[in-house]
Amino acid sequence: MTTQDIFNAVLAFDEATVITLTQAELDGGTDIDAILNDGLISAMDEVGERFSSGELFVPEMLMAAQAMKAGLAILKPHLSAGQSQSKGVVIIGTVKGDLHDIGKNLVSMMMEGAGFEVVDLGVDVESEAFVKTAAEKSANVIALSALLTTTMPSMESTVKAVKEAGMATRTIIGGAPVTQAFADQIGADGYSADAPGAVKLVKQLVA
């Protein structure tokens, strides 16, 4: 039994086995960092690549992410303060006035799967809520979603609010009508056309 088995169980979407194996590795004294990085996180990196290449479908990717999170939950109480619990903190939400959340949820789940701590503020989120939560959590990135052109101005006001608060937190945006040009125009730090792209973008921004 090795961390490779945990890796394999995540790729087999087998949550129960991930839980059993993670607990067993932990009880057996395997280094927690090895379980986390070689088992769980590297499995999700592989899942991300297989999804991007079209090999995995969305529900399969999400099932793998759930299995990974179940393993992570077992490790969490044993992680010391020095050990990185996550690759970074992402605050995500659909902006003020917009209630659409399918794309946002997809990005949220993929980011969790990639090892980020994600705080999902839901839909119809005020600029102040993004700023406040990002400050509380010392977030690396704020990710904003919108499906309506009428709510895209809320992205602009949120990005502005983050800048005015003098925070180092980076902002990224996405959603069907959103473009790179719009991101540039409102001064957002990044844009992605799809969920895997958003994960790659956040990885670059926190690197």
Q: Are strands 141-145 and 117-120 parallel, antiparallel or unpaired?
A: unpaired
What residues make contact with another protein under the rule CB under 8 A? 54, 57-59, 99-100, 102-103, 106, 149-150, 153, 176-177, 194-195
Contact status, residue 161 vs residue 133, Cβ threshold 8 Å = no
Contact status, residue 10 vs residue 40, Cβ threshold 8 Å = yes
CB of 105 to another protein, least distance (A): 9
Contact status, residue 190 vs residue 159, Cβ threshold 8 Å = no
Give me 104's structure tokens: 């946002």
Find how far residue 11's CA is from the centre of its chain: 18
Measured between alpha carbons, how far is 206 from 164 in angstroms, rounded to an integer? 21
CB of 182 to another protein, least distance (A): 9
In this complex, which beta carbon is closest to another protein, that of residue 138 or of residue 149? 149
In this complex, which beta carbon is closest to another protein, that of residue 5 or of residue 124? 124
CB of 40 to another protein, least distance (A): 23
CB of 188 to another protein, least distance (A): 17
In this complex, which beta carbon is closest to another protein, that of residue 149 or of residue 204? 149
Contact status, residue 71 vs residue 41, Cβ threshold 8 Å = no
In this complex, which beta carbon is closest to another protein, that of residue 40 or of residue 147? 147
CB of 12 to another protein, least distance (A): 19
In this complex, which beta carbon is closest to another protein, that of residue 100 or of residue 200? 100
Number of neighbouring beta carbons within 10 Å of residue 104: 28
Contacts of 53 (CB under 8 A, 6+ apart): none
Question: What backbone phi and psi angles, to 5 degrees, belong to 146?
Answer: -150, 140
In this complex, which beta carbon is closest to another protein, that of residue 2 or of residue 153? 153
CB of 26 to another protein, least distance (A): 34
Contacts of 10 (CB under 8 A, 6+ apart): 18, 39, 40, 43, 44, 47, 64, 67, 68, 71
